[in-house]
Amino acid sequence: MTEPVLPGFAPFCETKPRAILPAVDHYAGSEKTIRKALALQQEICSEAGTPLFDVTSDCEDGAKTGEETAHVTLCANLINSAENRFNRVGLRIHDVRHPHWEADLQIALEIAGEKIAFITLPKARAAADVARQIERLRQLQASLGLCRAIPVHVLIETQGALQEVRQIAALEGVESLDFGLMDFVSDHQGAIPASAMQSPGQFSHPLIVRAKCEVAAAAHAAGITPTHNVCTELSDTAIMATDARLARQEFAYLRMWSIHPRQILPILEAMRPELAEITGAVDILLQAEAAHWGPIRHQGRLHDRGSYRYYWDVLRRAYVTGGALPKEIQAWFSHEGNQA
């Protein structure tokens, strides 16, 4: 989905409009877990009937050695199936140094090219790695006569990729930068302790904090989405929610990975703006619309186009996380020409 525009409002913005992505990217690597994720995607929807999380079918860690062709074929067939009602299923392929990565793309695009929501590229060591895979993706799309340019999500999980993260973010077609915590820690060959792969270490170790900040800053500067790494806790929902809340509030991430169905709702709720913030944003923007987007006075404070941009983003986040919005606000998100 492309960025909706407030009717009659043209804000000044230096960065390109950001695509609206669900706040959760749920990973599934087997037929059973992918089918379960697709069923859940139909259950967990907004009031408007749009899905509140994406699904990524995993052809990297999900594929057994020697069974890569069978696995990508399975994933592509599921993406192309009637079970994929919303066309919000992506595909993580192998990294650029794996012998099967081009076959991953070829097979997936031949089977499901028109329905793949995005392609995720892992373990890049430099911007050139990402550029090479994107170039091949575009070549295959052209040869197959596909009408759309499939967006690309890039995992930042090596030191080399972090060094060139702004160049990666600026590449045409990149829609999200995803921080890969565990591989990033491992890339330091024992210099960073294992405790930094989980909380609270992942939010306090200086090198991890620096990496998360640089990924988020590069994404925001390029007008794309920063996506936070997984939470390894699979039982305690409070820990899941705390990780997501810290990712959103302290590190400015707008999206987070899920690796178990139990994680989806805690992440969504943590990423959602507080009800009071949503209510305030609604009041301010409705009053501003009535004033034809001129300055207004709301509860004794001045608001103008600068603050309208902020409150519009509050409503965007509420929309993609299932927050309750009045019908007149929901209409802004379905305004003619706003959605792809």
**Residue pLDDT, tens place only, 96-106:** 999 999 999 99
The closest alpha carbon to 42, from 33, 53, 34, 51, belongs to 51
Q: What is the average pLDDT across 54-83? A: 96
Two structure tokens written together for 290: 């009535």
Alpha helices in the chain (DSSP H): 31-43, 68-79, 101-112, 127-144, 159-163, 165-169, 181-186, 206-222, 237-249, 261-271, 275-290, 305-320, 327-333
> Could you tell me which of 55, 86, 52 has the C-alpha nearest to residue 317?
52
Structural domain boundaries in the chain: 24-271, 275-333
CA dist 251 and 157 (Å) reads 17
Summarised one tens digit per residue, pLDDT across range 202-255 is 999 999 999 999 999 999 999 999 999 999 999 999 999 999 999 999 999 999
Tokens describing residue 202: 């992942």
* HSE value, Cβ hemisphere, 13 Å, CA-based, for 217: 10
Pairwise CA distance, residues 223 & 240, whole Å: 27
Which residue from 19, 267, 227 is spatially nearest to 120, judged by alpha carbons? 227
Opening angle at CA 189, ends 187 and 192, nearest 5: 85
pLDDT digits (tens, 9 = 90+) for 298-332: 999 999 988 998 999 899 899 889 998 998 888 88
CATH topology of domain 24-271: TIM Barrel (3.20.20)
The amino acid sitting at 328 is: E
